[in-house]
Amino acid sequence: MGVPKRKTSKMRLRTRKAANRWHAPHLNKCPQCGSTVPSHIACPSCGYYRGRQVLTLEGK
């Protein structure tokens, strides 16, 4: 069985853990309606994504 030769140092461990730390999603302005929308997500208020209507909105 493979066994680590060296103990993982605190810095190495923390550097590794920092790579998959949670961070706030990147927010973009919707070019269609100007509301704040996470990137790679269709705008929930106007239903546009990459200049195209992709969601059918009930109501208005």
Q: How far is the CB of 50 from Zn ion (least distance, A)?
A: 12
- Decide: 53 and 47 in contact? Cβ < 8 Å: yes
Which residue(s) pair with 37 in the sheet?
A: 28
- Give the contacts of 12 (CB within 8 A, at least 6 positions apart): none
Residue 32 binds Zn ion, judged by CB under 5 A? yes
Q: Which of 13, 33, 54, 57 binds Zn ion (CB under 5 A)?
A: 33
Q: How far is the CB of 41 from Zn ion (least distance, A)?
A: 11
Query: In angstroms, rounded to a whole number, what is the distance separating the alpha carbons of residues 29 and 45?
Result: 12
Q: How far is the CB of 59 from Zn ion (least distance, A)?
A: 15
Residue ranges binding Zn ion (CB under 5 A): 30, 32-33, 43, 45-46
